Structure 1
């Protein structure tokens, strides 16, 4: 567990993102048990209700399921659901504003593609 929380998002959303990231990157697989609410509370030193809010949202979204008295587990289709949601969010949160700003600045499609390729090259060097 990464114990780093920040002020950019509400804590319950950060807890939710932390579990979601583990599902997306394969750390948590279908039917794996996720850490209990109490384990997360102890690790992050946050309020139980805060953790429960993030976890309950994942239950409501069909990402995890609860087995009473046993724990919480990853739904079989959780990774696909999360990836679809994140791809939709990526378009609305990043691509649309980027394209709007690029249009204001007069970038052509070719210039944008060139910048993306340049960034990919820089990322591959790291």
Structure 2
């Protein structure tokens, strides 16, 4: 999980995003233990409270759970939940603006679909 800290963004948010990415990419599976807040704090030379804030955000989102005295683990369905959230974000961030612009320039749904299919084939 060694990633470089971005000084321009909240560190707790970066910790949260790194764990989410590891879950999405399958590096952390359901039931896998995640590093403790103290391990994260030591590894990144940050305050344990900062690491705890990032981990707590994951707990609040239902992506990980704590077992007192044992550790923190990836929750059942975490990857599926993250995928769903990311798809919603993708729709809001990319699809809605695409549709808005397409309407503005008079594109029909078939044209949009054709353009997307063509783009997918190229990539």
Q: State the TM-score, normalizing by the size of structure 2.
A: 0.82
* Contiguous gaps of at least 5 residues in structure 2: none
Is 1:57 matched with 2:57? yes
Q: Partner of 2:105 in structure 1?
A: 105
* Contiguous gaps of at least 5 residues in structure 1: none
Displacement of 1:33 in angstroms is 0.2
Q: 1:8 to 1:101 in 2, by over 3 A?
A: farther
Displacement of 1:66 in angstroms is 0.9
Q: 1:43 to 1:108 in 2, by over 3 A?
A: farther
Q: Partner of 1:41 in structure 2?
A: 41
Q: 1:42 to 1:105 in 2, by over 3 A?
A: farther
Size of the aligned set, in residue pairs, is 123
Q: State the TM-score, normalizing by the size of structure 1.
A: 0.80
User: In 1, distance between residues paired with 2:11 and 2:103?
Assistant: 35
Displacement of 1:37 in angstroms is 1.5
Is 1:85 matched with 2:85? yes
Q: Partner of 2:94 in structure 1?
A: 94
